[in-house]
């Protein structure tokens, strides 16, 4: 079970990654699959799934995948 402190730390990490990604895009970066920031986007998805649940709109795992954030 996730404590409130753990949840807050994960949400802080989510916000940090999302802010960095937004800044990159704002400055002209065009994300593409398997680029140098793909690992950050994967981590963002995994953390969102952990906090908000797999069925949440914030958890953007393709439903046709193997069904887990780790597959």
pLDDT digits (tens, 9 = 90+) for 11-66: 999 999 999 999 999 999 999 999 999 999 999 999 999 999 988 888 877 554 54
Q: Is the pTM of this model over 0.85?
A: no
The C-alpha torsion from 66 through 54 and 24 to 31, rounded to 10°, is: 30
What integer pLDDT is reported at residue 62 of this predicted model? 59
What integer pLDDT is reported at residue 41 of this predicted model? 92
Domain limits at 27? Answer: 1-71
User: CA nearest 11: which of 43, 42, 47, 45?
Assistant: 47
Domain count, the chain: 1
CA of residue 39 relative to chain centroid, distance: 9
What integer pLDDT is reported at residue 2 of this predicted model? 85
- Cα distance between residue 11 and residue 17, in whole Å: 10
């Amino acid at each position: 079970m996730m404590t409130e402190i753990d949840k807050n730390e994960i949400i802080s990490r989510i916000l940090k990654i999302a802010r960095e990604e937004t800044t990159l895009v704002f400055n002209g970066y065009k994300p593409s699959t398997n680029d140098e920031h793909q690992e950050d986007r994967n981590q963002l998805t995994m953390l969102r799934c952990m906090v908000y649940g797999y069925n949440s709109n914030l958890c953007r795992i393709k439903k046709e995948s193997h069904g887990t954030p780790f597959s």
